[in-house]
Chain A
């Protein structure tokens, strides 16, 4: 401590303890959020927290198993990219989440608001039910009146608070002269309260305060379940950090300056470092490198880049620094033009009406007509407006869609929960219903069926000494093919040869000297080989003819299983890729896909999907690249992996969180089951109505019958939904 180092200045011993150090501004801690699709048990929680807390920059890490995410408080200079490898070593897959977007969901006001209303309705209905049970079991005269008045005192304020979401929805529908599910609900609640108050004032026998409250409670429960499922999926999907670069390096008079991509303009010179993504469309001014275009076009083979080549936003620079002159920025870039294709295709999908909407369309007018008819009938028959109104209210309460309101959300919550545990996020409300109808599955190749990383295929064809040299050269470069080569050779237990003067020539390969012989590993043209259909790197040793190392894109885990499962259920599988004929043919043969299309442009993919849809097929599109976005949006339902580009994830209905593809086939199965349960639930609700409504119309319904019908039907549909878990 500074104070102890200068004790001479302290006049008294007490002053030694005083802080002599000037107060420095303490940099604020950063919040990092990571998505952990693979965690599932208490051991996982402990391992992840221990691994994270052992990292020097981390102050506190806490895992949330429900959301499969870790919240980390860390020292200011800690980055998520430092923590992801830590978790990978511990055996967990991790993705960064945007903490800015996250804060919006943490203070989840709408959800809490609904939960409070649900709680108030629940507790109020319990108390009122207690009083109602006493009335049903025989309380009479003054006691019954008092119980009714107490019930009214509880029910009126409770409903005024709890049922607000229904009032608001019904009002907004009525204002534009439409009917929705909330209009009959509100009418039933209000009519029940009015007739009950009237009856109570006249010391009548029947009051429906308990019915009005339980109705509100069950419907709020349905609303809350629905909200929870969608909020969890929506927030997690939005939080996956965008892969597009938010910042770029601009060169102004030779000086480097880091600026936001949005502030770039046409004509700016931009430096793109190896590993960086192109922020704009442009032309290369200087530098040599290779470009990975797989996310835009689906090509796996890196493209050689030198001055004069045009580049598009979204391409990845692999080996050498490049200076690019911007020709199109922001919304004019090819990246954004593809996003526009999505917007056009998207408008087609909103035409899908969900099962719930279909039911509501039949239901709302039906209920109103039935209730109005029973009012009229009884008024004409008895001439007593009080009897007629009582019966009309009883009809509305009994037909009221408690079970209908729960039928869909209970099932979708159970199904989404099950899919989430398998690593899938349902983003769209009707995605499950659409997934259940799928009969054709279209896959993209690069990055979807394959992992997008190359794998050496002909290790056994080369001699040990050649491999030693190749390894030494490969380890000097971070090119994807070099990395794949060195990994495969290292795994075979081979050590690198001793080379000298190793240099990487950006865009071409690496070069060195082995016992006075020049050795080169790199592109065919540079080394002296011939370009073929397959992805290859060439090795030249002195004057010997060059050797070829061939690569294939490694298959994503679970791809074969997913395709086998789709075939087993009789769905047609189609492979459409932007990659070359050879590469696509090889993969299709490996997976046993007969129907494949290679060298497809983004428009071709979307057109093919559209063509299939026009034939009346329901297409599931699985893709990750920008070239897939239009097809993803045009398909009946779409899935993209978490590693996909932002635009692709936005266009898809379901996001696959893990690396494994096999849950996709299972998801289809779950979706079919879920849709079957929804239909069953509608049928159950109808059966209850068929029994109870004639009683109500005949004027035989009592509050007890209403309560029984409502509760049993709601509980049966919830239990039926739970069978899905």
Chain B
């Protein structure tokens, strides 16, 4: 059962990483236009070079 001493902190840490990543995406406005972003990926407008 000693393995629990590692596994529980690891599971908590992974959960925490997920939470922090989610908070980052909210703060950087990544949910402003979900529908538009889903469609933009189909456009070939900036395929050859990134948008300046």
Q: Which residues of A come within 8 Å of B, CB atoms? A: 41-42, 45-46, 63-67, 112, 115-116, 119-120, 123-124, 126-127, 130-131, 143, 150, 154
**Set of chain B residues within 8 Å of A112, measured between Cβ atoms:** 26
Are the CB atoms of B11 and A127 closer together than 8 Å?
A: yes
A67 CB contact (under 8 Å) in B4, B8, B33, B40: B33
CA A131 – CA B32 in complex, angstroms?
35
Q: Please state if B33 and A119 are interface contacts (CB–CB under 8 Å).
A: no
Pair A123/B26 contact, Cβ less than 8 Å: no
Closest residue to B39 on the A side, CB-wise? A42
How distant is B46 from chain A, measured CB to nearest CB, in Å? 10
What is the distance, in angstroms, from B28's C-beta to the closest C-beta of chain A?
12
Chain B interface secondary structure, helix, strand, loop or mixed?
Answer: helix
- Is the Cβ of A65 less than 8 Å from the Cβ of B33? yes
Complex A-B: 26 CB contacts under 8 Å? A42-B42, A42-B43, A45-B36, A45-B39, A45-B43, A46-B43, A46-B45, A63-B36, A64-B32, A64-B33, A65-B39, A66-B32, A112-B26, A115-B26, A115-B31, A116-B23, A119-B19, A119-B22, A119-B23, A119-B26, A120-B19, A124-B15, A126-B15, A127-B11, A131-B8, A154-B12
Is B35 in contact with chain A by the CB < 8 A criterion?
Answer: yes
A-contacting residues, B1-52, CB 8 Å: 1, 4, 8, 11-12, 15-16, 18-19, 22-23, 26, 31-36, 39-40, 42-43, 45
Contact status A116-B26, CB under 8 Å: yes
Number of residue pairs spanning A and B whose beta carbons lie under 8 angstroms apart: 51
Q: Which among B8, B32, B36, B42 is the interface contact of A150 at CB below 8 angstroms?
A: B8
Min CB gap A512→B, angstroms: 51
Q: Give A154 to B32 CA distance when docked, in angstroms.
A: 30
A-B pairs, 5 with minimum CB distance? A65-B36, A42-B39, A123-B19, A64-B33, A66-B35
Q: Please give, as numbers and ranges, the residues of chain B lying within 8 Å of A115 by CB-CB distance.
A: 26, 31
Given A65-B36, A67-B33, 4 more contacts at CB 8 Å?
A: A66-B33, A123-B22, A127-B12, A127-B15
> A127 vs B40: C-alpha distance in the bound complex, in angstroms?
35
Give the distance in Å from the alpha carbon of A186 to the alpha carbon of B13 in the complex.
29
Chain B residues whose C-beta falls within 8 Å of the C-beta of A120 in the assembled complex:
19
Minimum Cβ distance to chain B for residue A61 (Å): 12
Q: In whole angstroms, what is the CA distance A563 to B45 when docked?
A: 43
Chain B: CB-nearest residue to A124: B15
Closest Cβ of chain A to B6, distance in Å, is: 14
Kindly list chain A residues whose C-beta atoms are within 8 Å of the C-beta of B32: 64, 66
Which A residues touch B19, using CB under 8 A?
119-120, 123
